[in-house]
Amino acid sequence: MLKACINHGLHIFLQNYSMNEHLKICMVSPELSPFAKIGGLGDCVASLAKFIAQLGHEVKVVLPKYASIRLPEHCIEHLSPLVISMGYGKEYGKIWEIRAKNLSFYFVEFHRYFDRTGIYSDVYGDYRDNDERFAFLSRVAIDVCYYFNWVPDIFHGHDWTTGLIPVMLDTVERQRSMGQCGSVFTIHNLQHQGYARKSVLDFLGIPGHVFRPDGVEAFGQVNMLKAGLYFASKLTTVSETYAREIQTPTFGFGLDAVLKFRAGDLIGIRNGIDETLWSPQHDPFLPAKFSTKNMAGKVFCKRRLQRCCDFPIDDSVPLLGIVARLYEQKGLDIFANILPGLLEKLTLQVVLLGNGESSLETRFIEIAKKYDRRCFVHIGFHEALSHLIEAGADFFLMPSRFEPCGLNQMYSMRYGTIPIVRATGGLRDTVENFSEKNETGTGFLFDDLTESSLYNTICWAYKIYRDCPRAIAGMRLRAMVQDFSWNTSAKKYIDVYHWAKKC
Ligand code: ADP
Ligand code: GLC
């Protein structure tokens, strides 16, 4: 089970505790695929909830009903109003439910905060009241449980948007039924911390004594992520390496000391992937299916991708794919610096799908204009194209500055597309560097995010593609059979839930 995996406290706990009991888990998240997704958080929460439910536990997921969400017809409308107990009085919302075996998704309708097309932002930028919106979501989650008279064993919050839940459980809820619940707080990304005015505490009825440096306070404001880190019963993050990295100043975004302080309650659990959605044998977005036994479909997918990008259809030219949020985290500014040089030197095709910082979007658009039959850029969010890139490309690039887990490198490996990644966080934990001598490895790794190391690593991959097709074929097959399923990771979460419950 968890033996090799970091946390001594959990290990001792597991030796002395039998865990046959079925658990009730309330998950809270701002994103949930396929309804509301910006990045990997939505995929992760949806698949984790599903796999925990499949293990026989009862899972309820609470998220906002954003204006962009189209609910299916079989969705249940709960007619009596949801009462939300704010610090200043009551608010009323409405719950819509999608129900499956052991699993419910609760979409909460509340116009003032959630009736917007974006999750965090629109074309004008981040919503200015995100602190209030997600503080409100945290309260909503607890009140949804009261609404159904359902006391979970664990509240499981994801990222800063849910950081005030454990604080409420420990304060305003302490003498009420939800105050008995344990809490697990998962860090998907430490960079986004959710700063709020101090008044957010009154907004939720949380007493002011938590506003202290070893509580929710940071730089005179409430830091919602820090709140979760201090108050949750147990902490997880999405890979073992990231669990270690965030305890250092380089990756800690100012919270490394807090994480060190709570190291005994922190564990890294690598995300899995949902192979019913991401597998070359079944993916409905692909023009042809394939598997390790028959790779012809992959060639077909590559040709389709080349056609979509208006590239020459040529199997011998390596195709490099990227699907990413275009933000500093992903290191693609460094890639933009070297891309023209790469396209001048190598016979390479590059396709990039993403959106984010407008300056980076513009740079990639300019490069694609100049090298139009070798570089294609699609700015926007496009689920179908993302699947085709994962399947049709030869290589998949992730030069991240930091990467808590990363799902794309696992998706790409599942499709026999070889990742070229910086050795950090979950990328380090999931990709094994190629060794020509030993014929091992599933991708190409580099340590330092510099132009030269990125350039050289891409050239290395290019050279192997050109000179050693056998090595590439072997690497593809090794990548495709890696076990990235949720089987092991979901069980680790169950262990952590039991651990949190016993606190
Ligand atoms: P992160 O969560 O940091 O963005 P991950 O690798 O964990 O990184 O997950 C990214 C997820 O978001 C993947 O499912 C990826 O395909 C998807 N994604 C990111 N940008 C886009 C886009 N522009 N269009 C479609 N899917 C995207
Ligand atoms: C975050 C991280 C990413 C991770 C995802 C799901 O968005 O940036 O690395 O895979 O969450 O956990």
| Domain-wise residue ranges, the chain | 21-272+487-501, 296-480
Residue among 238, 386, 389, 417 to mutate when testing ligand 1 (max atoms within 8 A of CB): 386
Question: Residue range 213-236: average pLDDT?
Answer: 98
pLDDT higher than 50, residue 406: yes
Q: Ligand 2 pocket, 405 CB below 6 A?
A: yes
Topology of domain 296-480 in CATH is: Rossmann fold (3.40.50)
CA of 408 to the centre of ligand 2 (A): 10
List all residues 6 or more positions away from 349 whose beta carbon is below 8 Å from its beta carbon: 306, 309, 311, 317, 318, 319, 320, 374, 375, 376
> What's the predicted TM-score (pTM) here?
0.96
Q: Among the bound ligands, name the one nearest to the CA of residue 242.
A: 2
CB 172 within 8 Å of CB 212: no
Residue 88: other Cβ atoms inside 10 A: 10
Closest atom, ligand 2, to C-alpha of 403:
9
Q: Among 17-31, 189-203, 370-384, whose mean pLDDT is lowest?
A: 17-31
What is the average pLDDT across 484-500? Answer: 96
**pLDDT given at position 18:** 64
CA 202–ligand 2 middle distance (angstroms) = 31
Confidence of residue 122 (pLDDT cuts 50, 70, 90): very high
Show the tokens assigned to 420.
């070229």
pLDDT above 60: residue 428: yes
Q: What is the DSSP letter of 315?
A: T
Pocket lining: 39 vs ligand 2, CB cutoff 6 Å: yes
Token pair, residue 184, equals: 């697990």
Name every protein residue with a CB atom under 6 angstroms from any ligand 1 atom. Answer: 39-41, 43, 323-325, 353-355, 381-383, 386, 405-408
**Contact by Cβ (8 Å): 335, 397:** yes
Domain spanning 21-272+487-501, CATH class: alpha beta
CA 460–ligand 2 middle distance (angstroms): 27
Q: Which residues of 173-190 are buried (b: 16+ CB within 10 A; e: fewer)?
A: beeeebeebbbbbbbbbb
Q: What mean pLDDT is predicted for residues 466-474?
A: 97
Residue from 241, 251, 400, 407 to probe ligand 2 pocket by mutation (most atoms less than 8 Å from CB): 407
Residue 4 has what pLDDT? Answer: 41
- Which ligand 2 atom is the nearest neighbour of the CA of 238? 12
Task: From the CA of 404, give the closest atom in ligand 2.
Answer: 9
The percentage of the chain sitting over the pLDDT mark of 70, rounded to a whole number, equals 98
Show the tokens assigned to 204: 């939720």
| CB-based contacts of 444, cutoff 8 Å, min separation 6 | 395, 418, 419, 420, 421, 433, 434, 457, 460, 461
Three-state DSSP class for residue 37:
coil
Cα 235 to ligand 1 centroid, rounded to whole Å:
24
pLDDT in tens, 273-324: 999 999 999 999 999 999 999 999 999 999 999 999 999 999 999 999 999 9
